[in-house]
Amino acid sequence: MTKTVNSGILCIVVLLFTLTASAQSNAKKITINGDLEIIQLTPNVYQHISYAEFQGIGRFASNGMILTDGDKAFLFDTPPTELLTKQLVEWVTQTMKFKVVGFVPNHWHIDCMGGLGYLQSIGVESYANHMTINIAKAKNLPVPAHGFKDSLILNPGKHEIFCFYPGAGHSMDNIVAWIPSEKVLFAGCMVKEINAKGLGNTADGDLTTYPQTIEKVLQKFPDAKIVIPGHGPAGGIELIRHTKELLMK
């Protein structure tokens, strides 16, 4: 009897993972140009993918998120350059017909807020962890306009945005953004894609607190159906568990 029950549970887990993977692989991908792609994950959430050259790494893909709400759009992370950010915004406004009204970076690195200067030049409001703002000032980077300490709730329309700082990990200031109506978590670089073999760049983070940070995210967002990492394909909550396993190694 125990073997039958355990087998049944295993089948359900495998089925859920297969459905999540299938949903991601079947998601509609739109190519804007050779350096920009969009994947629609839910009726209101899109993953934007940008390709740029990074010193010492080469050509590399970075993720961000777009939330659409009525006739508005909210960005989470920009592409690494102002040109790519301009191209992304123009596509959102001209092709999708949404006005970009807000922006939240996951942390201070260039693959999160390299296009903030452009967004500010067209009047887009920006919100960030106070630590991100302080680091940006210290490094003479464009500075987000509005700060928060532990959490922030934004309501650009019908879809609530919950920004949460779980602690240091990939960087000292990394946050996550949760869209409860869509069950989508933009986790950024603190969470790794399912095929990642390592933690990537942790030079600006804290490996001591990283495990506790990931555990907080896992405990706070158990209902996440789609998790978007900073790099690589989106997945489900298994991406957070996979990152936790990498940290245990």
Instruction: For residue range 60-111, list pLDDT tens digits in order.
Output: 899 999 999 999 999 999 999 999 999 999 999 999 999 999 999 999 999 9
6, 11, 137, 201: the catalytic one is 201
Residue 46's pLDDT is: 98
Residue 3's pLDDT is: 38
Which of 26-30, 143-147, 182-186, 216-220 has the least mean pLDDT? 26-30
The mean pLDDT of the chain is: 90
130 labelled catalytic:
no
130, 146, 216, 231: the catalytic one is 231
Over residues 144-197, the pLDDT tens digits come to 999 999 999 999 999 999 999 999 999 999 999 999 999 999 999 999 999 999
How far, in Å, CA of 11 to CA of 87, rounded?
44
Residue 11's pLDDT is: 36
- The total number of residues shown for the chain amounts to 249
48, 107, 159, 242: the catalytic one is 107
Residue 1's pLDDT is: 39
Residue 60's pLDDT is: 87
Residues 201, 157: contact at Cβ < 8 Å? no
What would the two tokens of residue 182 be? 């869509």
Q: Residue 13: is its pLDDT beyond 60?
A: no
Q: Which fold has domain 27-248?
A: Metallo-beta-lactamase; Chain A (3.60.15)
Q: Residue 238: is its pLDDT beyond 60?
A: yes
Residue 56's pLDDT is: 73
Q: Give me the torsion for CA of 90, 132, 54, 82, rounded to 10°.
A: 20
170, 173, 174, 242: the catalytic one is 170
192 labelled catalytic:
yes
Tell me the mean pLDDT in the region 19-31.
Answer: 61
Residue 101 vs residues 84, 151, 192, 203: alpha-carbon distances, Å: 18, 20, 28, 33
44, 111, 173, 174: the catalytic one is 111
109, 129, 159, 173: the catalytic one is 109
Q: Residue 22: is its pLDDT beyond 60?
A: no
Measured from the Cβ of residue 31, the count of other Cβ atoms closer than 10 Å reads 10
Residue 15's pLDDT is: 38
Q: Residue 30: is its pLDDT beyond 60?
A: yes
189 labelled catalytic:
yes
How far, in Å, CA of 82 to CA of 20, rounded?
33
11 labelled catalytic:
no
CA nearest neighbour of 205 among 135, 128, 145: 135
pLDDT class of 26 with cuts at 50, 70, 90: low
Q: How far is CA 177 from the centre of its chain?
A: 7
* Residue ranges of E strands in the chain: 28-33, 36-40, 45-54, 58-69, 72-76, 99-104, 125-129, 146-148, 151-154, 161-164, 176-179, 184-188, 226-229
Question: Where exactly are the structural domains of the chain?
Answer: 27-248
111 labelled catalytic:
yes
107 labelled catalytic:
yes
Spatial neighbors of 70 by CB under 8 A, at least 6 apart, are 157, 158
197 labelled catalytic:
no
35, 48, 69, 189: the catalytic one is 189
109 labelled catalytic:
yes
Q: Residue 208: is its pLDDT beyond 60?
A: yes
Supply φ then ψ for residue 139, to 5 degrees: -100, 5
